[in-house]
Amino acid sequence: METLELHKEELAATIRAYHAKGWSPATSTNYSFRLEAFPETIYVSSSGVDKSQFKAGHFMEVDLNGNPNPGFEHLRPSAETLIHCTLYKLFPEMQCILHSHSVYSVLHSAVQPEAIKLEGYEVLKGYAGILTHDTTVNCPVFENTQDMNAFSDLLESEKARLTIPAFIMRKHGTYAWGKNLFEAKRHLETTEYLLEVEWKLR
């Protein structure tokens, strides 16, 4: 199987698994990846697809500005594709972005004004660069909006707050990213696990 098709198959399987967790209700959420050989091409999930049925063929190609590449103009990318484009520009080494609409990220973001503080957990070591549980991180919460240009500008201006590879859009969901699918999964699953634990403790 070619590398591109393998990436599509692996991410499609992850998308179906996350739907089974309840992280992508009602066709929501969006996902993307890049290949190191073609860094200006983003393979992003098409809009409106039931994530329990998501297959490799449901990815489409866009450029770094979110415009469909030739041959994909008839497909509609996710409305949030520009978020992916912005994250790839802010973190050029990253090759995969995952998004969830988990219950716990929505609950936290409904009551936390700016960030969720996570400290002392062993699973914090799931974030790249963290080597001990004896640490504190803040997962930022940004206001939700339908204006993706404005939100992209916000991410650029607030990059200093992205001290972990994840953030939450208020009453919307979590974005996480990594250098490959394995790392992006680890970052998203670390975030979602800690959000669930924190909520149940409170």
Full DSSP string of 83-118: HHHHHHHHSTT--EEEEE--HHHHHHHHH-SSEEEE
SS3 142: strand
Compute the radius of gyration of the chain from its Cα atoms.
16
- 7-63 pLDDT tens trace: 999 999 999 999 999 999 999 999 999 999 999 999 999 989 999 999 999 999 999
pLDDT, position 77: 81
Among candidates 172, 171, 177, 180, which has minimal Cα distance to 189?
177
The answer to whether residues 151 and 142 touch, using CB atoms and an 8 Å cutoff, is: yes
DSSP 8-state code for residue 183? H
The answer to whether residues 97 and 87 touch, using CB atoms and an 8 Å cutoff, is: yes
Strand order in the sheet with 38-45: 59-62, 38-45, 32-35, 96-100, 173-178, 166-169, 136-142, 115-119
CA-to-CA distance for 42 and 67, rounded, in angstroms? Answer: 10
* Burial status of residue 42 (CB atoms within 10 A of its CB: 0-12, 13-18, 19 or more): buried
Task: Taking each helix axis as running N to C, give the angle between helix 3-20 and helix 181-201, from 0 to 180 degrees, rounded to the nearest 10.
Answer: 10
* CATH ID of 3-201, from 3.40.225.10, 3.40.50.970, 3.40.640.10, 2.60.420.10: 3.40.225.10
- 135-193 pLDDT tens trace: 999 999 999 999 999 999 999 999 999 999 999 999 999 999 999 999 999 999 999 99
The amino acid that residue 82 corresponds to is L
- 50-97 pLDDT tens trace: 999 999 999 999 999 999 999 998 888 888 999 999 999 999 999 999
Full DSSP string of 20-58: HTTSSGGG----EEEETTEEEEEEEEBTT--GGG--GGG
pLDDT, position 1: 47
Strand partners, 137: 118
- 86-134 pLDDT tens trace: 999 999 999 999 999 999 999 999 999 999 999 999 999 999 999 999 9
The amino acid that residue 170 corresponds to is R
- Whole-model pTM? 0.96
